[in-house]
Structure 1
Amino acid sequence: MSILVEGVTKLYGNQKALNNISFKVDKPEIVGFLGPNGAGKSTMMKILTTYLSANEGVAIVNGYDVTTHKQKVQQSVGYLPEHNPLYLEMYAKEYLAFNAQIYKVNKTRIQEVIELTGLTEEAHKKIGQLSKGYRQRVGLANALLHNPDVLILDEPTTGLDPNQLVEIRNLIKTIGKTKTVFLSTHIMQEVEAMCDRVIIINKGEIVADKKLNQLRESKEQTVIVEFDYRVENAFLLKLPKVEKVVNTYDFVYEITFLTSEDMRSHVFDFAHDNKLKILQLNQKNASLETLFRDLTSN
């Protein structure tokens, strides 16, 4: 077991940031820690990485108690904080070499993480010259330098453009094949794309802990489609097994179906029969969004 949390409570004055939190994470597993802003995600991660101490409860990472074996925890965890502090005046490779000395790892490891995170072409540039996406890669490379068994990533995709999102997402999925990845986010699409499991926290309490494949077994699905011009909702409601249609903006529609069958082919046939062009056609896990809204709306 990579992470074990039992009865953890954290107080800031009289306010409970975490209230009797318990969960466990195995290896290899990518777990999304999902919740609205202020729910307690970052606080939990700082406890797991020994930056904060809990008022009550036990947290164990890689077999080490975060209170009594802080250095052992730090040696076995790779951490990417939300705001990814970097020395912008340093070159990317220079920064990694500096941290490699701190971790006392072999210099060959520097090139390994550069290649793993796709930094080869940017390694000789100053960090301040890099895009947000490549700075995130530098942060991930640094977190991986000492080859930790557990990666803890706090909002790793915040502020990235769509192309950067895909690149970082694929990188995390690759890392998650051999390591435990515990990542926080409030973006449900990122959880769906990367994670094996989701833990939802609200107001300092765990309100759901589910495998993503359990959520995908739901018979409700939503298809997002963008046509080249406007279509009346009434026409889309004639599609089989439709529950509702929402025109979200311009020519983009969210169509909810009550079936586990992939309905994108039906939407495609509808467009073809009506001489419409499809500009985008995606499926999203409506059950995860519905679950999140239901559990965090109050």
Structure 2
Amino acid sequence: MSLEVTNLSKLYGTQKALDQVTFSAKPGRILGFLGPNGAGKSTTMKIITGFLSADSGEVKVMRKDAIHAPKEVSRLIGYLPEHNPLYLDMYVREFLEFSGGLYGLSGHLLKSRTKEMLHRTGLEPEQHKKIGQLSKGYRQRIGLARALIHDPQVVILDEPTTGLDPNQLVEIRNLIQEVAKDKTLILSTHIMQEVEAICQDVVIINKGKILAADSLSNLKSNSEETILILETEEELNLEWFEQVGNISFGTKGKMEVLVSTIDPASARKAILQVIQERSLNLISLNQSKKNLELIFREITNA
């Protein structure tokens, strides 16, 4: 394993930010580190990268102790924090050369790595512009280029796609997938669609505790339940469907109900009976296997 986190704990006063957190990440795979806001994602990332100390536990990066030798391990890690800190008055190339110098790169190697990062992140046309002139999408590319300038073995990205438009989102996703081919990459986020789009492994954390750690395919296949999604023109009441299965409102509020069941045929009949009895105007009744968002909601609300 390129990264192993074992029984990691962190206290802020009497509050446990992390409680015996344990997981690992493999090279060549993208691990989605998921959790609600305040779950402990950023605290975990900051401890791994040496920005915070831990109260107990172990972090091994390429078998080196990240807790007791953070400076040595920092050279093995590339980190893009949630709030991407950039010097807006610096030029793109200038900033990357400055960043490489902080990792001890110089001379031909620094110029070579800067040129490679400009090419890989699509920043060549923008290299002579000031960072402050560029869009958020390009600034995220600069942050990623900086995280990769010293050729780290482990790359940690904390909410790298927040605030991007759809085109920028696709570009950054493709870039992350390209980077992950020869790195261990951790994508910390609360956006389920990002994880389903590009991750192979998933860790779910809530209130400082790991609730699930498995491959994305295993998480989905372990669920035998089917989801029925009902949408009508009228507002719905969950009490009408309480005999059908596990129910909740969907993304369209009270116009949409989600029904989780192991017997979809019987559930469909019961739903249609409710529609008929209450003279509801049906828009759609769709069936699908559980997606990551529904699995996440179940796990974190348990």
**TM bin (shorter chain):** 0.7 to 0.9
Distance in 1 between residues matched to 2:15 and 2:220, nearest whole Å: 36
Q: Does 1:176 align with 2:180?
A: yes
Distance in 2 between residues matched to 1:157 and 1:286, nearest whole Å: 24
Shift, 1:215, TM fit: 3.4
Shift, 1:46, TM fit: 0.3
Match of 2:146 in 1: 142
Q: Does 1:296 align with 2:285?
A: no
Match of 1:8 in 2: 8
Q: Does 1:191 align with 2:195?
A: yes
Contact persistence 1:202–1:295 (CA under 8 A): no
Kindly tell me: are residues 255 and 74 of structure 1, through their superposed partners in 2, closer, same or farther at Cα, counting changes over 3 Å?
same
Larger Rg: 2
Taking structure 1 as the reference length, the TM-score comes to 0.79
Distance in 1 between residues matched to 2:190 and 2:57, nearest whole Å: 25
Distance in 1 between residues matched to 2:4 and 2:82, nearest whole Å: 22
Distance in 2 between residues matched to 1:163 and 1:248, nearest whole Å: 23
Contact persistence 1:220–1:287 (CA under 8 A): no
**Aligned AA for 2:102?**
I
Alignment of 1:31-110 (within 5 A): 31-105=31-105, 106=109, 107-110=111-114
Residue number among 119, 125, 134 corresponding to 1:121 in the alignment: 125
Root mean square deviation of aligned Cα: 2.9
Q: Percent identity, aligned pairs only?
A: 54
Stretches of 4+ aligned residues off by more than 2 angstroms: 215-224, 246-249, 252-259, 283-287
Instruction: Report the count of equivalent residues.
Output: 261
Deviations 1:95-114 (A, max 9, x none): 00111222233111101011
Distance in 2 between residues matched to 1:189 and 1:254, nearest whole Å: 20
Kindly tell me: are residues 50 and 247 of structure 1, through their superposed partners in 2, closer, same or farther at Cα, counting changes over 3 Å?
closer
**Aligned AA for 2:293?**
E
Kindly tell me: are residues 77 and 248 of structure 1, through their superposed partners in 2, closer, same or farther at Cα, counting changes over 3 Å?
closer
Q: Does 1:287 align with 2:291?
A: yes
Taking structure 2 as the reference length, the TM-score comes to 0.78
Shift, 1:124, TM fit: 1.4
Shift, 1:286, TM fit: 3.2
Distance in 2 between residues matched to 1:172 and 1:254, nearest whole Å: 35
Contact persistence 1:220–1:256 (CA under 8 A): no
